[in-house]
Chain A
Amino acid sequence: MKKILFIILFFLIWFNISYWYENQGFLNYKEENWIVNFQCEKQCFIFIWSKENNNILYIKWNIIWNWVVWYWFLNWQQIIPGEFSNIKNNISLENKFFFNKLQYYNQLPNEIITILIIDWNLKSDNFSFILDKSNFIDNLKLNFDNFIKIETLTPYSINLRYWIMIWWISIVKIWYIIFILIWIFFLLNKKYKKFNNFLLLGLTIFLFIWFRNLYTYYDITKTWLKSYTFESIDNKTFFDLWDYITFTDKVRKTLYLDDKNNKKDCRIFIDSFQDWPFKAHWQSVYLKPCQIVDDISKAEYLMYYKENIPNEIKWEKLIDFNNSYLYILTK
């Protein structure tokens, strides 16, 4: 389906090649001096005509809600995926996409369309994008990033892959080889008795790794205590659950759901900009003991999380929090 869409879009561009760039899918789109204000619903595209010798896509944004941005290249035959960036809410940021990071970059023709894709329902405030050439510092940074790559750990990391990568080799593999060589050396050289020194060396390296891990855990815990535990109620955010927990807590308190002596039997309709994990959580656990209903007509309460409210709804508003709402049926 997406391929068909892109073929259609490609031909749309084909007839508009006189423009430097073209956009699709926006509700509103105003551009002035390379600064764009737009409103996007679901998925929007900006077609940047030629990459020529430029190798950086430089974007600046100041947006109201979290969103996803990525880019693709479009040549005459196919769509070539580029990088992906998940952008958090209410933060003004600048970001550089280095095309050189892509292994196939050098194989791309100069005359190729770059497509900037913006996902989800959002409004921009002074968004700008520029295709540019990398300078010396950019190249240095890029090469260093390519040389050493550290795996991102999150509080909910349940599996790890490589930890630290030097070029394309995991540091684990390097140590693996070194220690097997040392082991073979010791096994072959039976006369060498100073084993305690070897043990000491091993323990020291182990201690160093220990310290490195300790720092990682401290860092994760610190970040999250700051943004979640010790943050004021209205500003609490929990990683990619954002303010979902705060909003849910507000709903529970408003409806007295934790008051066990005064058990509430309520029916609630929920809608969210994204089903997983929010709707799944509410449905199975976090709006208990309320019942979740699929039909608005059967509901006593309506809940919208980062979702546009249908115009016909004229219910009484109980909560209005960061584009999330709770309504009650008025009698």
Chain B
Amino acid sequence: MAGCTGLAVVLASVVWPLPETGPSLAPLVETSLADTGVSSRVTAVLLAFRGYDTLLEVTVLFVAAVAIRSMSSKSAPHPAHVRGRALHALLRLIAPLAILLAAYFVWLGSHAPGGAFQAGAVLGGAGIALALGGVAVLGAVPPTAVRALAALGPGVFVGVGVGGLLADGAFLRYPPEFASLTIFAIEAVLTVSIGLALLLLLGEAWSPAAPGSQEPTDSGDTNGGGRA
């Protein structure tokens, strides 16, 4: 306790007297913004100036999903599913709205705060809400296709990067005349993959075999059903 208080005092004494105006990369972003084809500064930084960061970030998300998948076991406790007619009605309302909102966020990302991560978060949140509500979100989609879709975002991103390397000699360099379109395409694919990855982060709870889902397709999973 004393140690943490001491650390807080030391850190605060560093942060508090920082000068009113500090270094900023905003002018640099401002001067190069026109080259990216998008007018949102944060999107330009994320997908053009610091594309590496974003590529590795979605890779981290994908790897986390893979790691969680590899750890999933039948003996781990399933999250309890909540059921109820009111909840079900709400979820039916939320699902299409979330998809609409996600599409809007992707479109918004080119000129205002928004983009793939916000859209993906909305998609993933809706998916998780559905899964926890006992709906087999991806019940009709084969697991292989789910994994392929989750890998599509990082894959397309790397593909565009390699394409820039081959065409222009620099990894992740976008063709100038199509920069805006390229960024939009990457964002659109990333949205789906991020949303899916967020859902996969739930572990096996999203899967149609989870207890409480509407269409159990796999009879191998028998334990944990009493939690609902």
Chains A and B form a bound pair:
no
Which residues of B approach A to under 8 Å, CB–CB?
Answer: none
Which residues of A approach B to under 8 Å, CB–CB?
Answer: none
